[in-house]
Amino acid sequence: MNADKFLDSVRDDNETALSRLGSSKSLYAETEGEMEPETVFRAAADAEYAASETFGQWADDAAAEEVRETFADFADQERDHYEQVLGKLDGETPDDHDPSEVPAIHEYLRDLEDDPARVGGFLGRTLASEKSKEQMVGFFVGQADPQTAQLFRNLGDDLDGQLERGTALLAEVCESDEEWDAALDAASGAIQAAYDEYTETLEGMGVNPKPVC
């Protein structure tokens, strides 16, 4: 395994889950069926807040200095995303916002303890998050709100940069086959956590999570 092949392997191993997380049903699950702009903003804000908190925790206790610095930067970037999304809620500020429960993917990530697993899990989370951003862009295009659609495109562009930097970091922290395997397992575990939550939410609403062919 190497950094160049890592993301391809994660995508191949989780093709079905990523495909379904990129479907319109994913946003339906995130908003629990309330497909209104304000509800979409709140779902996005919750996700950005959780990411900022997760990466901030990792920045405090990662083993390698480069990992600490990278996740501090990612935490700041996610905090900025969070504040941009909150700004769409009638100028709501972080002091006004009451985040929902921690998303399952971040519960999973916060249980990871070593650097290779955390960086791998981060990359899995970012692949899943890209799918969510694509759905939010599509939603606001459908709402004839190009400015907000562009906001979510910009957030998605930042995720591309995170993937590039995270993949380079992975090559620095993985020195053995066992560490590469741990990173790969963590990436798939993060995606699976998001997929399981998606499935459970839809089934709880009486909706079939599988696409209708």
The token pair that represents 5 in the structure block:
């092949």
Domain segments of the chain as ranges = 3-203
Q: How many Å apart are CA 50 and CA 92, to the nearest integer? A: 17
Query: Domain 3-203: what homologous superfamily?
Result: Heme oxygenase-like (1.20.910.10)
84-129 tens-digit pLDDT: 999 888 766 777 778 888 999 999 999 999 999 999 999 999 999 9
Nearest to 208 by CA among 4, 29, 38: 29
Q: How many Å apart are CA 213 and CA 204, to the nearest integer? A: 22
The token pair that represents 30 in the structure block:
């995130």
| pLDDT at site 162 | 96
Reported as half-sphere exposure (CB side, CA atoms, 13 A), residue 204 has a value of 11
- Per the listing, tokens 């995130």 go with 30
Asked if 140 contacts 152 with a C-beta cutoff of 8 angstroms, the reply is: yes
Look at residue 2 and tell me whether its pLDDT is greater than 90: no
Residue 212 gets the label, from left (phi > 0), alpha (psi -120 to 50) or beta, of: beta
| pLDDT at site 91 | 65
The model carries a pTM of 0.94
